Amino acid sequence: MGTGPLLLLATLEGTVMAAVLALAAVGLSLSFGVMRVVNVAHGEFFMLGAVLAWAVAQAVPSAPLGFVAALVICPVLVGALAYAIDAGLLRRLKHDPEATIVATIGLSYILQQGALSLFGPDARPVEAPFTLRLQLPWFGYSGYKLFVVVAAALVLLAVWWVMTRSRAGLVMRATQIDRATARAFGINVDRVYAGTFALGAGLAAVAAVLIVPIQQAHYLMGHDPLLLSFIVVIIGGLGSIRGTLIAALVIGLADGILSMLYPPTLAKIFATLAVALVLVFRPQGLFGARP
Amino acid sequence: MAAVTLLEARGLTRSFGGLRAVDHVDFTLNSGEIHALIGPNGAGKTTFVSLLSGRLQPDAGQIRFDGADVTRLPAHARVAQGIAYTFQITSIYAGLTVADNLALAVQRHPTRDLAGETARAAARVGLGDHLGQVAGLLSYGHQRLLEIGMGLALRPRLLILDEPTQGLANKEIEGFTALIRSLLPETTVLLIEHNMDVVMALADRITVLNFGKVLASGAPAEIRANRAVQDAYLGGHHAAD
Amino acid sequence: MTRVLVLHLAVLAGLAALGAVLPAYHHGMMARILMLAVYAIGYNIAFGYTGLLSLGHAMFLGAGMMAAGLWVQQGGSAAAALGLGALAGLGAATLTGVLALRTAGVSFMIVTLMFAQAFYLTLLYFGAITGGDEGFPLPAAGRQLMGLDLSQDGPRYAVALAIFAVALLVQLALVRSRFGRTLVAMRENEERSRMLGYNPFTTKLAALAISGLFSGVAGAGYGLLFGYVGASFATIQYSILPMLYVLLGGAGTTLGPLLGAVLMFYLIDTASSLTELSLAVIGAALLFLVLFAPKGILGTLRDRGIRWLP
């Protein structure tokens, strides 16, 4: 393959990566933006979405039907779990930022253990709903991967619409800006928090269901998405949805292209250091809307 | 005896958003005096002393302390040079004992007898019997006294007090004025105060701030007679005097 | 002071007596725990006393361990390896602190986590030297300390106890010193401390550096005592463990790190021998402590009346 086609392939792979990453990262960004908490268990919500997708696909005999069922059921289940966790656990901690981090670290261990005990240590494949292959002049490319990009874009559009145009979004933004005033105006802040946490977790689960026909479901698969989501959210500016989307695109593409050119470990070292330095020297992020 | 300048501010300015909280203030503090800073709420008094103590950085202007330019010096370094600040809203170590609170100030100077000096620092503000108590459990008045005691224990050359008598009982205020007088002439005192009785009893000189600017500065009698001050601040009081 | 000193010496005497009576399995376990307790003491100085909640201490542990391991592998002596480990931990913590202490709170947690992760990945990247996750065994010749063969149970326990005793007593002296009071002041009210003339940045940097030194010693000691070093000790897991020990035993108490390490280590060991539930035990313990006992065992005891507990 020549340089041009190789770059095209890398860009395609990067776009798929960026799409899934954007979903997961926007989920993390929502809970940070509205609730001011860092959810370390976010990667485990992603993992749960993937593992549950496998379980649902097992229960439904037809592959396309199983996939669709998973796409509907898993985010709802994961969202419901997240709602319960916020209401039963994080609310008791009054969403204190540091205590929440420690608690969600504990939670991530428990969720990993749960997945390991219920589904075992093996990687589980899920069949793609269709096996269309697009033949380009230089190489064939999976039609499913392009579907992932479109699906993720649609979900993100829906999130954007909810945040900017709907009443629920207005309530969430009001809570984000001033919790006390929102409460004075009769907004049930507890419910908004739990709802936001559930929405964030649900988005991670959607990302996972979409990715699971490409990667396999595994109880330790939450680590990388967590780290990458962190990177995206921090580079994008903590709590800024727009910045998160731009950062997801940049980092997804960069990751896709760089990992074809450099050893992945080296790329990860630089990415991690870069993120730490951004937080130190530019805490508002590179694409943050406001300082 | 000619007055020796301890602290001097020139053209000091600081804005928040569009609001000029402190607007080109020139200010001189003589060594060994008690200087009161008065003015209506929102006049920029706390912002002004925060600039002097280094808690805030000015947008423009210069501060000289004891002849040296300290404008860019961070707050902790100014404290080390002898500028102590006591907070308007009591800021003590609520989880530590009174003794630990005071010891943290006392130990800023080398000492062999930390416990003894700490006890003396407590006695000075009338907290001698409370050394072992957790500071957060003291009454409000005692917490104010502890705050002042920590400032004194630093043995500063300039002590900045931000509304020290707020929340003190009348008897405690009497003790406080006597205490402040006893600091002279080693310590120069800059005092933000709303209680005019305290101001008139203590101050050698008074500076009046209004809308971030110096409205007047002078001896208590001059300030009392100043028409602009009466209009802006003392309100109807002058009729009664 | 005397009452406190007697308590600490009694704990050390108890540990020495334990060394004489323990069966072989627990003998090795306790030596391990003592090294982890030294690590937790280091963590306690940063987190418990100074209020710096770091998620990156595994870097300091790993740096100390790797420095000592590579030194011994090249034929260096064990005594020098311990010193080198201390220096590596100190250096890594100072470097981290210079950057990370420009942030606070949640940002500080994430920055330290990211630095530690980058360090871990670097160890993997240079796997040819560091042995990567599998690590490498230390040559027997390098595991001789003052005539003691560290591969033998008795000497190993003795050396572990000696290192722990020094760490415990240094910690005690530190937190009861004027500097120790300054650290606590930084934790309790940073702005007030600043206005008493303390430089918050340098004070916290010093605390983190000392904390890193203890962690480096623990890493080097662990490697020498058990004849093995590996990058797996630099994973996030090893940043969480000392936090867990300290939270359980009591943050900001001198004996909390030891108590937490002993209880947690045996809890995880028991759980993972019964079922494969070690992950869940760690998770559940963290949740329980954060929710119901944020002050830990000794912190709660101190609040409930044993006020003199340091």
Query: Tell me, what DSSP letter sits at residue B4?
Result: P
Distance (Å, whole) CA C148 – CA C163: 14
Q: Is the pLDDT of residue A258 over 80?
A: no
Q: Considering the domain boundaries, does residue A160 fall inside one?
A: yes
Provide the terminal-to-terminal Cα distance of chain B, rounded to the nearest Å: 32
ipTM over 0.90: no
The Cα of B91 is separated from the nearest Cα of chain C by a number of Å equal to: 6
Tell me which residue of C104, C92, C94, C25 sits closest to C59, measured CA to CA: C92
Cα–Cα distance measured from residue B63 to residue B72, given in angstroms and rounded to the nearest whole number? 9
Alpha helices in chain C (DSSP H): 2-21, 24-44, 57-73, 78-100, 105-125, 127-130, 153-175, 178-188, 190-194, 200-226, 237-249, 256-274, 278-292, 296-303
Instruction: Find where tokens 């609520």 sit.
Output: B94
> Of all helices (H) and strands (E), which one includes residue B11?
strand B5-16
Residue A273 lies in a domain: no
Cβ–Cβ < 8 Å for C130, C234: no
List, as one string, the DSSP characters of C49-108: IT----S-HHHHHHHHHHHHHHHHHTT--HHHHHHHHHHHHHHHHHHHHHHHTTS-HHHH
| pLDDT at position B1 over 60 | no
Could you say which of B127, B150, B173 is where a domain stops? Answer: B150
Closest approach of chain A CAs to the CA of C268, in angstroms?
A: 13
Asked whether the bond before A61 is cis by omega within 30 degrees of 0, the reply is no
- Answer whether C98 touches A (CB < 8 Å): no
Task: Take residue A218 and report the two structure tokens written for it.
Answer: 């595994």
Q: How many angstroms separate the CA of residue B96 from the nearest CA in chain C?
A: 8
User: Which phi and psi angles does C12 have, rounded to 5°?
Assistant: -65, -40
| Domain C-terminal end among B114, B129, B150 | B150
Location of structure tokens 């500063």? B156
DSSP B2: P
Q: Which residue has the higher pLDDT, C57 or A13?
A: C57
The answer to whether the CB of A42 falls within 8 A of the CB of A229 is yes
What mean pLDDT comes out for the span A208-229?
A: 88
Q: Report yes or no: B53 at the C interface, CB cutoff 8 Å.
A: yes
One digit per residue, pLDDT tens: chain C, 310 residues?
Answer: 589 999 999 999 999 999 888 888 888 899 999 999 999 999 999 999 999 999 999 999 999 999 999 999 999 899 999 999 999 999 999 999 999 999 888 889 889 999 999 999 999 999 999 988 889 999 888 888 888 888 888 899 999 999 999 999 999 999 999 999 999 999 999 999 999 999 999 999 999 999 999 999 999 999 999 999 999 999 988 998 999 999 999 999 999 999 999 998 988 888 777 666 777 888 888 898 888 888 888 988 888 877 788 7
Which of A102, A268, A275 is closest, CB to CB, to C290? A102
Residue C211: give the domain boundaries: 2-230
Phi–psi pair at A286, nearest 5 degrees: -85, -30
- A249's CB contacts (< 8 A; 6+ apart) are A18, A22
Rounded (10°) angle between helices A143-165 and A167-177? 70
Taking alpha carbons only, the member of A27, A72, A30 closest to residue A46 is A27
The β-bridge relationship of strands B60-65 and B68-69 is: antiparallel
Among candidates B79, B94, B100 on the partner chain, residue whose Cβ is nearest the Cβ of C195: B79
What pLDDT, on a 0 to 100 scale, did the predictor assign at position B80?
A: 93
For residue B230, the SS3 value is: helix
Asked if pLDDT for residue A220 goes beyond 90, the answer is no
Question: Nearest-CA neighbor of A97 among C53, C292, C252, C235?
Answer: C53
- Domain housing A29: 24-221
Same-domain check for residues B23 and B39:
yes
Alpha-carbon span C49 to B145, nearest angstrom: 27
Q: How many residues does chain B have?
A: 241
Interface check for B211 against chain C (CB to CB < 8 A): the answer is no
Range of the domain at B103: 92-150
What angle is formed at CA C181 by the lines to CA B91 and CA B92, rounded to 5 degrees? 10
The verdict on residue A238 lying in a domain is no
Q: Are residues A99 and C290, on separate chains, in Cβ contact within 8 Å?
A: yes
Q: What tokens were used for B151?
A: 């400032």
CB A159 within 8 A of CB A200: no
C164: contact with A, CB 8 A cutoff: no
**A226 falls within a domain:** no
Contact call for residues C226 and C153 (beta carbons, < 8 A): no
Q: What is the pLDDT of residue A90?
A: 93
Q: What is the DSSP string of A251-277?
A: HHHHHHHHHHHS-HHHHHHHHHHHHHH
> Does a structural domain hold residue A11?
no
- What is the distance between the alpha carbons of residues C310 and C300, in angstroms, rounded to a whole number? 13
Model confidence pLDDT, tens digit, residues B82-135: 999 998 888 899 999 999 999 999 999 999 999 999 999 999 988 999 999 999
- Is residue C105 less than 8 Å (CB to CB) from chain A? yes
User: Is C195–B77 a contact, with Cβ atoms under 8 angstroms apart?
Assistant: no
> Does residue B133 lie within any of the structural domains?
yes
Tell me: the pLDDT tens digits for A37-83? 889 899 999 999 999 999 999 888 788 888 999 999 999 999 999 99
For position A197, what pLDDT does the model report?
95
Q: How many separate domains does chain A show?
A: 1
Q: Are residues B218 and B164 in the same domain?
A: yes
Give the whole-angstrom CA distance, residue C283 versus residue C258.
Answer: 20
Q: What average pLDDT score do residues B194-221 get?
A: 90
Q: What are the chain C neighbours of A275 within 8 Å (beta carbons)?
A: 114
Q: What is the pLDDT of residue B239?
A: 39
Count of the separate structural domains present in chain B: 2
Same domain, B163 and B235: yes
pLDDT digits (tens, 9 = 90+) for B152-177: 999 999 999 998 888 888 888 888 89
Please indicate, yes or no, whether residues B112 and B41 belong to a single structural domain of this protein: no
Cβ contact, residue pair A105, C118, below 8 Å: no
Q: Can you give the pLDDT at residue B2?
A: 59
From chain A residues 251-290, the ones with a CB under 8 A of any chain C CB are 263, 265-266, 268-269, 272-273, 275-277, 279-281, 283
In a mutational test of the A interface, the residue from C103, C279, C282, C288 whose CB has the highest number of chain A CBs within 10 Å is C279
Pairing of strands B60-65, C228-229: unpaired
* CB distance A38 to A104 below 8 Å: yes
**Is C256 contained in some domain?**
no
| pLDDT category of residue B240 using cuts at 50, 70 and 90 | very low
Q: What is the pLDDT of residue A291?
A: 36
Note the pLDDT tens digit of each residue in A77-127. Answer: 999 999 999 999 999 998 888 889 889 999 999 999 999 888 888 888 888
Cα atoms in the Cβ-side hemisphere of radius 13 Å centred on C257 = 35
The count of domains in chain C is 1
Backbone angles phi, psi at A239, to 5 degrees: 85, -5
Q: Per-residue confidence at A288, pLDDT binned at 50, 70, 90?
A: low
Domain containing B65 — which CATH number? 3.40.50.300
Length reported for chain A: 291
Residue A45 has a CB neighbour count (10 Å cut-off) of 34
Q: Hey, are the CB atoms on C283 and A113 less than 8 Å from each other?
A: yes
How far apart are the C-alpha atoms of A102 and A92, rounded to whole Å? 13
Secondary structure (DSSP) of B15-73: EETTEEEEEEEEEEEETT-EEEEE-STTSSHHHHHHHHHTSS--SEEEEEETTEE-TT-
The pLDDT of residue B235 is above 70: no
Q: How far is C159 from chain A (nearest CA, A)?
A: 33
pLDDT tens track for B22-49: 999 999 999 999 999 998 888 889 999 9
Q: How far apart are CA A152 and CA A19, in angstroms?
A: 6
Whether residue B145 is found in the same domain as residue B163: no
